[in-house]
Structures are given as structure tokens and as C-alpha cells.
Structure 1
Amino acid sequence: MVEGRLPFRYLGVPIKTTRLSATDCKPTIDKVVDRIRGLGARKLSYAGRLILVKAVLKTLLQYRATMFILPTGVISRIESICRNFLWDGGADYIRSPLVSWDKACKPWDEGWLGLKNDIQWNKAAVGKLVWLLASKPDHMWVRWVNHTYIKGKDWLTYEPPTSTSWYWRRICRVKNLFKEAYNQNMWTTQHNKEYTIAKGYDFIRDKGLKVNWHNLVWNKWSIPKHSFISWVYQHKNMNTMEKLHNLSISEEYTCRICRNETETIEHLFFDCPYNRKVVVIEGDWLGLPLPYQDLMEWRLRITGSKMKQGIINATINACLYHIWNQRNRSRIELSLLRLT
């Protein structure tokens, strides 16, 4: 046995007696950036990068967020890397996002991308310590904390002295976020079941209104990249020529396919003579009443078996994707013709 010294690393995380600094967390940031470089993500669709953000990049941070109180600046830096990776495939800010990151970090059923806000996730992880102190008096760490800090006082009304450690004051600050979720030292929001980080996160996050169309866009019948474009269409955030022209990014504003009318979302998907042929053929096959500019309202009225509804929604998602894909191809081809 060799006598060691603090700080040291265990299972990839730093172990020290003081709070973590940005320098201590730099290896985590470097690891996230290295993962991005090894993924070759610029060739992936938005949906492919979204899956990688959830399954790879976010887990690197959340693994550490469940064990430590991380510096807010470090969490914000990693979230900005995830944002840049999602919208452009790299770690640096180059392309403006289609939606703000705060909106992207909201659930599917509220109309967004189902990502987690890691600052709030870190607080929810600390909330597990709050729950231990409230409900597990025989836990060894709880007994030590009671003997050293609380000393017989009521935990939910306890306020730490300014002379106590930074970690302990942060735990007490997080406790104040969860006070309303306790009843006689028991977690009560989920039928008196035990606290979990997911429940704590859902309790403190900013909740929005639920939408009735998320299952139409995100479902097992649709290819993920088709669903993603359908989701962008639903929020009317597509970078049409009209939008690029209004932002002074492009001098052109006409449709890249018919090259006659202003390229708005309504024109591109319903009024462009070339794309309208596709829409009419699809509408005849699916039995859509034309015209159907209010596409989402029509989709909400679909009846029949789940398989029938799934196939119709998958077909509509695919149609939206391929129209948008053809528009992008036409735009590139037109630019190459002008260069030659």
C-alpha cells in the first residue's frame, strides 16, 4: 500500500477536499471536444447529431453532475459545445441555431427536443443528498452531517452559518428549491415514492404548455431525420430564401425550385407548382382533402388504427423532408451554375 495525497482522480473524476474549479474540469471539456472530432458528424443529419448529443456528449457531463457540484461556467461551456455540435457538427460557434438552447432543452410533449438543462440537472442531483438527510436518518453520511452541522435542528428549516464549508452551503441552498415537495420529511410529488434525480429535475425545471402534435412528428414509424425536418416545419423555423433575405444573408428571395415567387414556407410546400404535384399525388394516395395548408390540424383529425395513423404521419414527414431536401439541392446547383 502506498500513501497517496489529495487531489487525485478516481474513475475519471477528480477527488479533492475543496470545491471543483474550472481547471479541475478542463479534462471533461477536452474529452467532449475529442469525442466530437472522432464522430465525423458533419456528414450526419440534424437527427443523427441530436442522438449523439443525448447518448454521448450529455452523458459525459451528467455522469459527473450526479457526483459533484460543478461550476456553472463549466456546465455552460459544455452545453455551448453540445449546441454548436447539434446545429453545425463542430465544437465552435459558426452557424446560428434554428431554436434557442433553452427551448431545445425542454421535453418532447412541450414541442421541443427533449434535451436536459444540465445546470438544473446538477441541482436535481444535489437534491438527492437533501432527500437522504430528510428520510434516511440511519445512513452513515447523514449521521455524520447531523452530528457535525444540523445538531438536532429541523432539516427543512435549517439555515447554515456563514462559517461552514462552501459545499454545505450549496446543499442547503438547493434544499430551499425542494422545500415545497416535502411533507413531514417525505418526498410527496409522486405518491410518496422515493426521490430520483429525474423527479427532482421535473420538479424544478421551467414547465411549458404541452402540445398535441408531438406524437405525430416523433414516432416509431418515421425515420428520425424526416421527423426532425417535420418538427422544424411545425415551428416555422426553416431558413427559406425570404428569411435569409430579411436577415441580409442573401440578396435572392425567390423560390429555388420554380424561381418565380418569393420562397416562403407556405409557397415552398403548397404553392410551388413542382412541389404541389408531389403534394397532390401524396394527397390522393392518403385521401387528404385539398387544399390543406393547415396540415397539422388535418393530422390531428386522422382516425383509424394506430398502424394506419402511423403510416400516414410517416408519409407526411417523409414528403416534407424530401421537398426540403430537393430545395437545398436546387439551391446548391443554382449556385454552382452561377460560379461556372
Structure 2
Amino acid sequence: MEYLSRIVKLVGGMNQFQFHPRCKEVKLTHMCFADDLIMCYKGDFISMYLMLQSFKLFSQSSGLQANIQKSSLYCCGVSDSDVQRIAAIFGFPRHFPPFRFLGVPICSKRLTSSQCDALVDKMTCRIKIWRSRHLSYMARVQLINFVLMSLHMYWAQVFILPKKVLRDIVQVCRSFLWSGQSFSWNLRSVAWSKLCCGKNFGGLGFKDVFLWNIAHMGKYLWVVANKQENSWIKWVNSVYLKNASWWEYSPKANSSWYWKKVCHVKDILKQHYSLTDMCVMPSYSVKAVYNKLASDSVPVHWDFFSGRGWVRLNTNSSAGWPSRGV
């Protein structure tokens, strides 16, 4: 892939080649990961021809060929005649966003709850497999913490998930905990917000999916604040920031929905961190930021086991008496 990158870079230096309007300043022509490749250019025939010729040279040298059935052409602001001409010559079928890359949907507009159905479906499919087993409450707790929540974490570090999707995730996990099913109308014994506290705060250690999503997205704020050298930072600076002060920056009205959400996360974290705090972090810790966001709980103390269950002693009780727990 390094050889392909060098070839495409040479194509980007030709006078006939035209960059994508939002990639011109950083001279971004392609992004590759494993066996996936995304090529970006202005939607004209000459640029498309030069880009495909570079890939043809790479194929002749390495023996690697593009899979036509798994390749797609995405166009915006290009006339239908030009699209048909390009598709007819090069054989790539035209598709429309959103498309999936590394298991998550990629779209140019607002992420909808229907595009995240695959996440909720994966959780319900896992529960259907477990449903035939006689699982105790503690077994369900472990499965929620280490299996169901891990599926959510992968999406949470990429997107600002819609609130409806996060509520569906909570509903699935809550139903599985109390009934062993992915959906149930039964009344819950304890509020889910209580269970999302750590065990030293009287909960079961579940992650609050709303705060966990914010903590994961805070990594992008940390990367921008530290001005790391990568393609995304260069692109953000050229399109949005334009050397403005990041901590005081406000998105414009014509900014993308996703960028506005990232800036909204910045406003939330500004209540707990300053720009100096972000810059002095040697590495970003999602767990530390999450604990900072969820630091309003009152510690409790589990002291002994009685015949009817655990007795929870809350030394911070206003009445001065211990409170009993299940």
C-alpha cells in the first residue's frame, strides 16, 4: 500500500488532476485500511481517469486487482451524464450513501436511529442465544458488562449516537438483567441510573451509555487540543478551525451536523476541564473522563452479610442511621 500511496501522490501533483473541494488544501487523495481503499477527487472524468490509471499501474506491478462487485462509485454535484460515462467505462456500480466501512455506517448527513439498528440487533441476537440457558443475576451482570457493553463501546468511540439508540440499548440491557429477555414489560426493582453507579457507590458497575459516549468522543477534543500530526487534524484545521482558538471556537451555521455534535461535547467537557487540563494529559483516558463526568454519586459501605441479604451501611445518611440494601 505504500507503493500505491506514492503513485497516487504523484497523480495528485499533475496539473490535470483536481482535488475534492474540501481536500484541496491538505492534498488528500485517498485513505486505506487493510484491504479497503477510499479514493477522493473532484467529480470530473479526467481526475477519475488519472486515479484509475494509477491503480491500474499498481495492479500490474503487484498483481492485486480491484473487486468490481465490492467496489462502488459515490458522486455528489456531478451531472448524470458524467456519472453514466464514468460508470460505463470503468465498470463500477453507482451507490448512494450511507455505506458501511469497518462495520459502521458512513454518511454525509445526520446519523439516524434506523442506521444504528444493526447495533441493537447484535445485542438482541446475543440475548436470544443466551435465553435458553439458566443464568443467574450475576451471570447476566457479567454478560452485560463484558459483552453487550463492548458492542456499544465500538460504536461510541466513532459516533455521537442518537438518543433513541442509547435509550434502546438501555432498554435491552435492563430487560435482560431482570427477565433474561431482550424485551419485557415487567416492572424493574431498581432504577437503571442506580445500577450504573460503581459498586462502591451502591450500584452494579454498569456504564451510563450517555456519559460513556461523551467520554469516548472527548478523545477527539484531546487530539485537537494537542495538535497531533495526522490527516484528520490537518483536515479539521483547513476546513473548520482555520487556526482559530479551539477552546473558544463555535461552529458556524453551515457546519456539518457531526462537527456541531463534536463541538457540543466540547462544551460539556469544558464544565469539568480547562484547555490546560486537556493539554497536560500525557494520554487520553476514557475511564478517567467518564469517572469525572459521573462523580456526583455518594459512596456507600458494604459491611456484612445478614440472613436476608447484604446490609449496606451509608455513613453519609442525613439521619445518621445506616440504610439497608438488597
Q: TM-score, normalised by structure 2?
A: 0.63
Tell me which of 267, 284, 288 is aligned to 1:199. 288
1:118 matches 2:206: no
Amino acid at match of 2:98: P
Identify which range, 57-66 or 112-121, moves more after superposition: 57-66
Q: Tell me which of the two structures has the higher relative contact order, counting C-alpha pairs closer than 8 angstroms and 6 or more residues apart.
A: 1
Deviations 1:32-61 (A, max 9, x none): 111111102662111111111111111111
Query: Which aligned pairs between 1:141-156 and structure 2 lie closer than 5 A?
Result: 141-156=232-247
Q: Which residue of 1 aligns with 2:144?
A: 53
Q: Which residue of 2 aligns with 1:273?
A: none
1:93 matches 2:222: no
Q: CA deviation at 1:140?
A: 2.2
User: Do the aligned residues in 2 keep the contact of 1:187 with 1:194 (CA within 8 Å)?
Assistant: no
Amino acid at match of 1:34: C
Tell me which of 298, 313, 324 is aligned to 1:209. 298
Q: Secondary structure in 1 aligned to 2:105?
A: strand
Amino acid at match of 1:195: Y
Note closer, same or farther for the CA distance 1:296–1:41 as it changes in structure 2 (3 Å cut): farther
Note closer, same or farther for the CA distance 1:296–1:124 as it changes in structure 2 (3 Å cut): closer
Amino acid at match of 2:150: T
User: Do the aligned residues in 1 keep the contact of 2:110 with 2:258 (CA within 8 Å)?
Assistant: yes
Work out the CA distance in 1 between the residues paired with 2:312 and 2:190.
Answer: 12
Amino acid at match of 1:50: V
Q: CA deviation at 1:186?
A: 4.1
Q: Secondary structure in 1 aligned to 2:270?
A: helix
Q: CA deviation at 1:183?
A: 4.4
Q: CA deviation at 1:180?
A: 4.6
C-alpha RMSD of matched pairs (Å):
2.9
Tell me which of 113, 117, 123 is aligned to 1:22. 113
Work out the CA distance in 1 between the residues paired with 2:143 and 2:134.
Answer: 13
Note closer, same or farther for the CA distance 1:58–1:34 as it changes in structure 2 (3 Å cut): same
Note closer, same or farther for the CA distance 1:234–1:210 as it changes in structure 2 (3 Å cut): closer
Note closer, same or farther for the CA distance 1:17–1:295 as it changes in structure 2 (3 Å cut): closer
Q: Secondary structure in 1 aligned to 2:240?
A: helix
Aligned residues between the structures: 227
Query: Which aligned pairs between 1:233-272 and structure 2 lie closer than 5 A?
Result: 234=312
Query: Which aligned pairs between 1:175-324 and structure 2 lie closer than 5 A?
Result: 175-187=266-278, 192-213=281-302, 230-231=309-310, 234=312
Deviations 1:175-230 (A, max 9, x none): 01222554454427xx843222112211222521112227x67xxxxxxxx9xx84
Please, which runs of 5 or more residues in structure 2 have no aligned partner?
Answer: 1-65, 73-94, 314-320
Work out the CA distance in 2 between the residues paired with 1:88 and 1:173.
Answer: 36
Note closer, same or farther for the CA distance 1:181–1:295 as it changes in structure 2 (3 Å cut): closer
Q: Which residue of 1 aligns with 2:101?
A: 10
Work out the CA distance in 1 between the residues paired with 2:251 and 2:126.
Answer: 41
Q: CA deviation at 1:131?
A: 0.6
Q: CA deviation at 1:10?
A: 2.9
Amino acid at match of 1:166: W
More helix by share: 1
Please, which runs of 5 or more residues in structure 1 have no aligned partner?
Answer: 218-225, 236-293, 298-319, 321-340
Work out the CA distance in 1 between the residues paired with 2:137 and 2:178.
Answer: 7
Q: Secondary structure in 1 aligned to 2:222?
A: helix
1:130 matches 2:230: no
Identity %: 34
User: Do the aligned residues in 1 keep the contact of 2:123 with 2:148 (CA within 8 Å)?
Assistant: yes
Q: Secondary structure in 1 aligned to 2:114?
A: coil
Work out the CA distance in 2 between the residues paired with 1:35 and 1:201.
Answer: 26
Q: Secondary structure in 2 aligned to 1:170?
A: helix
Work out the CA distance in 2 between the residues paired with 1:79 and 1:161.
Answer: 33
Amino acid at match of 1:148: V
User: Do the aligned residues in 1 keep the contact of 2:175 with 2:184 (CA within 8 Å)?
Assistant: yes
